[in-house]
Amino acid sequence: MTRLQKFLLAFLPAHRRAEAEAESRQWEIICAACGHATSIWDMGGVRYRGGGRPLTWGRCKVCGKRGKHRVVKQTAP
């Protein structure tokens, strides 16, 4: 867990921390250029009770291209 994750989750009760981690693992950032998907949790972030399909600016770790990447929530099958 990164420092940011530890700091943000420190204010939540134990059962909510587990929910926040599980939900953060469902949210993925998808590269517009190559389609590579990485979960928010694996990138060191937390997204809990979020909504929508926002865009974020950054560099893809696979193809190296900079640009806007879509943030989507993967639904469980």
Which pLDDT value is given to residue 72? 92
Angle, alpha carbons 35-24-46 (nearest 5°): 105
Which pLDDT value is given to residue 28? 93
Which pLDDT value is given to residue 5? 83
Residue 77 banded pLDDT, cuts 50, 70, 90: low
29-71: pLDDT as tens digits: 999 889 999 998 998 888 888 888 888 888 888 999 999 999 9
Q: Domain spans of the chain? A: 3-73
Residue 76 banded pLDDT, cuts 50, 70, 90: low
Task: Please say whether the beta carbons of 29 and 38 come within 8 A.
Answer: yes
Q: In what order do the strands lie in the sheet with 37-39?
A: 37-39, 27-30, 66-73, 55-59
pLDDT at 74 exceeding the cut of 60:
yes
